[in-house]
Amino acid sequence: MTPPQRQRRDIVPEPPAPKGGEDKPGNPERMYVVAGPDGERAELDLVTLIVARATDPPPSASPEQAALLRLCAAPLSVAELSAYLHLPFSAMGVLLTELLTAELVQARAPIVRKARSDRSLLEAVMNGLQRL
């Protein structure tokens, strides 16, 4: 039995030089669109909470989007997602905008808690407990 032989590659000729004396190449094709078709991004803050609507990522989702959807089973802030995925906030904004337009995630405002409870309410509860 003889081992398989490597096949030689054909020599590929260089593309012809542009006609008309132009030495500049044309605009390169963009590999990725940074914003949506209308150029707008979602209004996101570092404390905006993100919750996944779908349990499983769709097959067309990129690896970053799939990881983001898995993390968002419970509400997480944009800052937490950025830290977990090791991505800057600008990249998270692009990913989340795509997922928001596809309605795979939901963004909501953070829960704001008061710094201190109302003293009169605490006194009323304490008085009610003492009467028991």
Instruction: Dig out the tokens for 56 from the structure.
Output: 């499983």
Neighbours of 97 (CB within 10 A): 19
Residue 17 has a pLDDT of 65
Task: Answer with the residue of higher pLDDT: 24 or 11.
Answer: 11
pLDDT tens, residue by residue, 12-23: 676 666 665 555
Better-predicted residue by pLDDT, 54 or 79: 79
| pLDDT at site 95 | 87
Whether 42 contacts 96, CB under 8 Å: yes
pLDDT tens-digit readout, 57-109 = 888 888 888 888 898 888 999 999 999 999 888 888 888 888 888 888 998 88
Closest CA to 40 of 120, 94, 108, 103: 94
Identify the residue with better confidence: 92 or 4.
Answer: 92
Q: Does 117 score more than 80 pLDDT?
A: no
96: which residues sit within 8 A by CB, 6+ positions away? 42, 44, 50, 68, 78, 81, 105, 107
d(CA 110, CA 34): 26
